[in-house]
Structure formats: C-alpha cells, structure tokens
C-alpha cells in the first residue's frame, strides 16, 4: 500500500512539473519575435525589444563571491550619478560596512546625505545630515515633486531593481548602455513608430522608448581611484549593476556558501539513514529455503 501511494505521489509531482513547463512555454511563445527577441505592444503596434546580453559577474554561480572593489566602484557611480534621481530606501548606510568600508568612512558617507528630520524646538519637518543608522533618502520630498522634475514620471527606487526586472543585473546594464539614435531599419519597418518628445530611444527597453535620459554619457564621468579600471561607460554600467545586485540580495553569497555544508549534511544523513534501515531490517528478512 505504501509503495502504491509513493508511486502515485511521484507521478502527481512529475505531471505537475510537466504541466508548469508546458504552460510557461505556451505563455512565452506568442511574445517571442524573430531570433528570440521579445516584443511589447505600444500605441496598438508591436515593436521589437532586444533581449539583454549576458552579464558575467564574480558573484555568479554556486561558488560566486562578491568583488568588493567593484561594489565600491558601483556605489560611487550610484552616489555621483544615480542618487540625483533614484533612492535606495531599503538600504541603510551602515550596510556599506559589508562592502569593506570602515565605521568612520560609513559615518562620513552618511553625513553627505540630507535625511528627513524634525526640528526639536518647533516640531516642524526639516532635514539633517544622515547617520549610519539612517536609510538612503529619496532625492525628492514627495511624489509630486518627483513627477514635476521628471516629466510626470516618478524615478523608481533601485533597492530591489535587480530582483524586480527579468535578467537582473544584465537588464540594468543593458538599459544603461542601450541608448542611441533610432535605427533607420526600425523606421522603415514601423513608419508609425516615434519616440515621444519627452522620451529617449533605448533598444533594450520594452516599447523602445524610455523617459529617463542617458545617465552615463561620457568616459570618466565618475573618477575612479588610482589602480582601478578605466571608467568607461561599459565599466561604470557593469559596476553599478553589480552594486544593485548586492542591494537587492546582500545575503546571496553567504546563502550559497551556507548551502553547500547543508547539502553535505543532508547527503550524509541520507546515507546514514539508509545504512540504519538496512541494519534494522536485516534481521527481519525471510531466510532463503534450501532445497535438496
């Protein structure tokens, strides 16, 4: 009876996995364009969106580790470029110690930001220099101000962006490097396509038109310390993408490093349980009858 129940349970699980795979394939198939490029509707038309190219980081894979130097460069790009429009509301200044900064450096970094506060004398809302226990503030006092400064578009918070977008860091890197003029081939294929006056063409963004202007526009826009890679647009985009992967999943490397000993223990426990089972049931096995 137990064997039959186990077989039925395994069959049910297998069929569930197969059904999930088939359902996913059916859902994705209609939006796949030529050469596997995704398509997105815009203005009742369908325009091609190039799939972000792969981005290889040191943190990739089951044995990945954080490249602290790269994460510090990525934070520098965020602080000097991205922080003008985007917040990191789920990241505290003290979390930067995980990137290799000491307490004094973290205190200095925090003091360079203005965070919301309250005047102790009047009780009115004000701002004050940040402290290590504070979280990265929004550059705008409220959503209305954010819309007014960005053509009625609110810049998204970047804390979890690497988890919120398909492709993660590769998507972020692709967006930062995907700006350019509209290709003539696109205009010929879709004569009605036109990037809005308040938008910018980006070959990796769904609908190909993005409200955000190019944040990284020139080599050396951020000055790296001596001995660091040359701050090209490609390098700066890669570094800030790696940093945003860390903000979205700061425990990623620790989790994978912890997982290997756990898997080893489970394997050992499985083998031990199997041997115990053999030992316990050995005496209850029916003896073979010897025939003359």
Whether residue 42 is annotated as binding a ligand: the answer is: no
Beta carbons within 8 Å of 200's beta carbon, 6+ residues apart: 179, 209, 210, 211, 212, 213, 214
212 appears as a binding residue in the annotation? yes
Q: Is 200 annotated as a binding residue?
A: no
Could you give phi then psi for residue 48, rounded to 5 degrees?
A: -80, 140
161 is in an annotated binding site: no
- Comparing CA positions, the residue from 170, 204, 174, 175 lying closest to residue 54 is 170
Beta carbons within 10 angstroms of residue 85's beta carbon: 19
Block residue for tokens 């007014």: 148
Binding site for heme c: residue ranges?
82, 85-86, 212
Which residues line the annotated binding site?
Answer: 82, 85-86, 212
């Amino acid at each position: 009876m137990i064997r039959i129940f186990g077989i039925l349970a395994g069959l049910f699980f297998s069929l569930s996995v197969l059904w999930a795979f088939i359902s996913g394939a059916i859902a994705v198939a209609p939006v796949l364009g030529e050469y596997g490029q995704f398509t997105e509707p815009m203005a009742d038309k369908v325009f091609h969106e190039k799939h972000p190219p792969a981005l290889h980081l040191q943190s990739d894979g089951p044995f990945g580790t954080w490249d602290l130097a790269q994460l510090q460069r990525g934070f520098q790009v965020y602080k000097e470029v991205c922080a003008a429009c985007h917040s990191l509301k789920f990241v505290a200044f003290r979390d930067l110690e995980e990137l290799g900064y000491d307490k004094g450096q973290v205190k200095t970094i925090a003091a360079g930001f203005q965070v919301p506060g309250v005047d102790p004398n009047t009780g009115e809302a004000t701002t004050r220099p940040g402290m290590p226990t504070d979280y990265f503030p929004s550059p705008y006092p409220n959503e209305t101000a954010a819309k007014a400064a960005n053509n009625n578009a609110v810049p998204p918070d970047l804390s979890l962006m690497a988890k919120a977008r398909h492709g993660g860091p590769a998507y972020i890197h692709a967006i930062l490097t995907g700006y350019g003029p509209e290709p003539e081939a696109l205009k010929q294929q879709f004569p009605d396509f036109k990037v809005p006056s308040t938008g910018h063409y980006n070959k990796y963004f769904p609908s190909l038109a993005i409200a955000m202007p190019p944040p990284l526009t020139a080599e050396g826009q951020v000055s790296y310390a001596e001995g660091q890679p040359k701050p090209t647009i490609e390098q700066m985009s890669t570094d800030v993408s790696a940093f945003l992967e860390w903000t979205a999943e700061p425990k990623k490397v620790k989790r994978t490093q912890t997982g290997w000993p756990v898997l080893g223990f489970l394997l050992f426990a499985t083998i031990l349980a199997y041997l115990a089972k053999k030992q316990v049931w050995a005496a209850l096995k029916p003896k073979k009858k010897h025939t003359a």
